Structure 1
């Protein structure tokens, strides 16, 4: 919900949007002082409010905090209530990111999914000496250098990945959550042992029951441990490792080996479903990845 701070004001709003994968980047100003609240939690989005000009006041635990030019604020509206007020001179470059995309990025890069100690924290990030404003500048320039760039190109997905990873780092640092050692070190030995088995034997796709037996616990205990310490199921962990291994083979196998042959060697039989999952994960089809082998190129 948007309300002007001055009921007699005449808003002069501007808005420009671009997409990088699942990340929506929006530059806008309302042209007057505003109060925003009642963000829809069911939309499942994280907001990153980057102030270019003027100032915003953001709701935090027990009060509020201001952001000025070059400063940013992050809130997961699917996990926390939020309001903001912007002064009449405000100009924003805001990011809207699905919560699930950040979950998948965390699992892919850090090996676990943070719990609500991260997602419920509404924090200020960035600043003039931070890498975050520089990354935003690069992203906007890259996406607009030749007019509008399609959201599903390799460049757009590359920018999406960089934004999500750096946001996780900045957010976790401000929230006091360790991405490198926190939950990963805290996981019990049977979870770490199961990860090693599934990473080493991803091509063979061992059953979760077999993995659990080999690490000395029940399948239910193994699933509970993964959910608690990694935020995902062991089945999802194995599926991710299999996609990564399949991708490595697409990039490295001799040129005369077909995509179908590589997929079959990994035990994939439903090629349509595989292509869909692969595209969701890597932003391109298996054939596109394989096509670069002949050209000797890699993603930008």
Structure 2
């Protein structure tokens, strides 16, 4: 019997029922080994009339994060240099956010220069950057290190070996209304939140890491409802693995999108239990995958609640715009 993969992964993006274009993007790359750490990322383009190119901004965000995170992962794998962990931690907290924001701004300014808006000639880059505004969440998972970054809304959700759910990058104070930090924000690199977690004991490492855009969380009546969703997802994965629920997750996301009215994207990585026969199928492959806009969103089938089932969202909300 072959050893299980270091991580099973799944990614899916569902276009909001009120949206003409899916503004979300996501990417999965790597295997989660020391030589090839796992990289997860989601980006949520703002999508309102003030951000007409935010789907492009979100695509640049995921692509550029994957590039910088791969450089970071290479440094994680290099254990021969003395003091590497301290320098790497400083880079994670300061250097990588600065480079990522600079990369993104350069990309979008270059795109606008190639394809300018006919009736606009802004005197400063701020209005141009705004056209492409996007949030970003990204994570790197190596056998003994878990690092994540977040700019703006959305959720990084972690379930530990005891089944406890946490959101290590949740802001200390809730953002007001639909305001959120963004890659187009002034001094955006200073707004990036960073989670740094060494993993000296593999038995106590996270069992589930999920990145999602706010189209999922805001479909629930309360934060507790979203937390129970994550706990239920973990229980289902523990019993069936990613292949066992791969057909169900898109339906859950479509139902969430129906309630929130927003694009809904979920990327997850699940650590299979040692000694199990779990194996990632096509839905859990670990090669690089980029999820773009679906051609359309199918209506979710009504699902009966049962033991161990995932709670469906129960609230309808109006689509909102970020300023």
Common topology (TM > 0.5) = no
TM-score (norm: length of structure 1): 0.28
TM-score (norm: length of structure 2): 0.27
Structure with bigger RCO (C-alpha 8 Å, 6+ apart): 2
